[in-house]
Amino acid sequence: MTKPSGAVWFLAFCVEIYKHEKNMSGRQAYHYLFRTGATGYIIRCWEALHTTGHLYIVDSIDDYIKNHAADTSLLS
């Protein structure tokens, strides 16, 4: 079995902090982040994001979703 990369561990961490900040379940948070494309953003930018604080990460994810979500109906 291969060991998950740091990006995968960081994605799981981001789902946890996002669900806490947005009062969602883990499943809801993951599906929302996946549908909006934020999981790809987190994976691509994890090396920079993991050096920041929790609130910055959540704000960064929200900014990404606001500016890049393909389906704006997901934002309501």
Contact, 32 vs 24, CB < 8 A?
yes
Within-domain flag for 21: yes
Range(s) of the domain holding residue 11: 6-71
pLDDT in tens, 16-65: 999 999 999 999 999 999 999 999 999 999 999 999 999 999 999 999 99
Q: Report residue 6's pLDDT band, with 50, 70 and 90 as the boundaries.
A: confident
Within-domain flag for 1: no
Within-domain flag for 49: yes
Within-domain flag for 37: yes
Within-domain flag for 76: no
d(CA 9, CA 12): 5
pTM given for the model: 0.84
Within-domain flag for 56: yes
Within-domain flag for 63: yes
Number of domains the chain contains? 1
